[in-house]
Amino acid sequence: MINKVIESVKKEIEVKETTQSNIFLGVEIKKTEENITLSQINYVKKILEKFNMTDCNPLKTPGVIGDTSLDNYDDSRSFHQKPTKKLLDP
């Protein structure tokens, strides 16, 4: 039955088959007896290459201490106007 589904999808869109059953829609899935871990490291690497940032130095994200409510958050610009949109837009 799964083969019929795959063949049907192939008729509509380009499908890249992989023998790696631990990758689904670009998300790497690692299973152990205790947990399941999801990773998008290959996507992150692709974005870093696209923006010529493969040699950047990673830093810890500063944690927020205290009130983290968004009551006073000013979102005067929409997401599409913010420069980070360019990094996230495929």
The CA distance from 88 to 44, in Å, is 10
Q: Can you give the pLDDT at residue 88?
A: 64
- Return the structure tokens found at 26: 């670009």
Please answer whether residues 57 and 63 qualify as being in contact, where contact means their C-beta atoms are separated by less than 8 angstroms. no
Helices (H), the chain: 2-12, 41-50, 84-88
Q: Per-residue pLDDT tens for 65-78?
A: 676 666 666 666 55
Q: Per-residue pLDDT tens for 51-64?
A: 898 998 877 777 76
Which has the higher per-residue pLDDT, 62 or 37?
37
Q: Can you give the pLDDT at residue 8?
A: 86
* 20 pLDDT more than 60: no
